[in-house]
Structure 1
């Protein structure tokens, strides 16, 4: 009986550092709850560690994504999913910006968030993974287990829908 590479602490640690943030962001974009995404990400990696002998390294990424997605679906059953953004702790000094500009900026951000919330889940997830995480279409396709063409279509449709909300995006 041979032990899986995943059971090696240094291999597991490297795998965790390489994939944990991306998994957390994926869950956040998909389900809209940051603390839930963080908890479920941790749980998925704990389950991977507990089952490391049964999961080959090349299947580990798919394993944690599947565990995390299923756990998230169980947690949010019967809830309406709303996308929320975590406010970043950036203390921008805006002394020289006029109040009218600040109001317009605030209204624009609110309108953008509402427009992104209106996207269907598949479009929203692909769009945010590309635009926020900077993932390539091929990376998104691998994570979502779809073709690159499907990713392109989802992002194209998302942009089309967002353009409908904002005339000056054209």
Structure 2
């Protein structure tokens, strides 16, 4: 999505256009969650922060004025929400400062703009898996089931689950080769949970 499209959508959001809001939300939600997760290493907390931000974004839509690109505004807002949340929880000032300094040194916000394309590509790649493999993969990665639980739920052996997960990961890594510098830390590629 280019800046002109973003600006048009933002103008529509200010006029209370829910479809425009939905488009911005769907475009950036996954990558904003990945971005927020760098602060917390907790997917649920990251999603909570992003959802809370979008609720406030909608409620203040008519008063908002964005001087940069919408994308830039969203990522900066999430960064500020995360830092505010850390301070609100009364984590020691030293820790907050350390997190912020390390974050600024290690992570460039512009890298996360690529996450929009990556999250779309991941979703497409998962959907392209054969049905049985896709179901096993989703039970493991999206529902957090252990291999034993998946085997029991689907009435198959653990060896089958292991084999299908290995094939799914191999297929996804192959399809996402162009993004390998960005998916190293993603939970869908972690070694798991047998």
The TM-score bracket by the shorter chain reads: 0.3 to 0.5
TM-score by length of 1: 0.43
Higher relative contact order (CA 8 A, sep 6+): 1
TM-score by length of 2: 0.38
